[in-house]
Amino acid sequence: MAAARHSTLDFMLGATADCNAVLKALQPVFQEQGMTETVHNWEDHGYLATYIKKNGSFANLRIHPHGLVLVDLQSYNDHTKGREETDQLLNKVEERMKELFHGNLKRIKRLPAILRGGVIDRYWPTADGRLVEYDIDEVVYDEDSPFQNIKILHSKQFGNILILSGDVNLAESDLAYTRAIMGSGKEDYTGKEVLILGGGDGGILYEIVKLKPKMVTMVEIDQMVIDGCKKYMRKTCGDVLDNLKGECYQVLIEDCIPVLKRYAKEGRMFDYVINDLTAVPISTSPEEDSTWEFLRLILDLSMKVLKQDGKYFTQGNCINLTDALTLYEEQLSRLYCPVEFSKEIVCVPSYMELWVFYTIWKKQTEV
């Protein structure tokens, strides 16, 4: 099935626009393509002209009186000839506008075309809502587990990227993420007890095992994430996910909440707890968002199994989400025990945004 190719061309004039004059100047460009025209005119709000081709391609020309002229062109093919025809049409529109306004064009902006409905989805939003086009060239893995959709897509820059239910999780390029959520190389894991919550890509487990811990317990609910990553994310996880038990680690395929409750009841304690389950929610309404309730429960249970001098590591979210991050920090004051925290800002390559990581520890009581 052909994908829809959406191209845009914007003009910002240096003065108000004579909408009728702009329309008459550009009409021949579209009519030469054999396109049928429909014009709408709103008093004080400019013109909208729609041009339709027999093959289903169409263009919208929107002329605003304040001086903004927008061209949107949608075609239904992505072969070289179709792209060249689109580029030629937009080139002619741009040339005609330059002739019409000479030096009175403040800005001309043509964005790369957006391909909609293609076999490969290249567009994924950042945490703060900006659209990013990745250089994806292959769908490596795409399966639905009982918990989520799991995609592994190949990027020319970032290698294979794990995407869970539409959320970019980790790429093979993202060792910076793994190092940050482990304490950025400042911790000595030798002989330590470590608990990883989530982490199904195996990156954290693979890096910690190299540091000679006493025992690492990883609790991941979704076996299919592990299965996909051990086959297609080996630059991230190495061979550590090939077996669920090793000399100094074990992987439990379970929901981490019952496990945490069980460990707390048994009095089992850890030197480090690493929460790789979910980012801080974007919503700033904790009463209305169940993710915040889940997050608080994980925090409280983690503190119960964390040694008095232990550390809890977790990701926050994008640095631009200041309200959500502030709210998360407020939640830390509501735990069953007093805690202190520090944070670090790290550039994670495939996220294309700066990411905040937290280190949390129990506040030492004065003797």
Half-sphere CA count of 123, side-chain side, radius 13 A: 11
Half-sphere CA count of 70, side-chain side, radius 13 A: 13
Q: Are 37 and 48 in contact (CB under 8 A)?
A: no
CA distance 28 to 34: 10
CA distances in angstroms from 265 to 37, 260, 261, 268, listed in the order given: 74, 9, 6, 8
CA distance 134 to 112: 12
The DSSP output letter for 200 is T
| 3-state SS assignment for residue 298 | helix
Among candidate residues 276, 289, 300, 309, the one labeled active-site is 276
| The 3-state secondary structure of 202-228, one letter per residue | CHHHHHHHCCCCCEEEEECCCHHHHHH
Q: Are 346 and 313 in contact (CB under 8 A)?
A: no
Q: Is 276 one of the catalytic residues?
A: yes
Q: Are 187 and 193 in contact (CB under 8 A)?
A: no
Strands 123-125 and 131-133, bridge-based pairing: antiparallel
Residue bearing tokens 């407020």: 330
Q: Are 196 and 274 in contact (CB under 8 A)?
A: yes
CA distance 172 to 333: 35
Find the helix or strand (DSSP H, E) in which 140 lies: strand 136-144
CA distance 121 to 132: 11
Tokens of 125: 């939003």
CA distance 19 to 46: 6
State the catalytic residues. Answer: 276
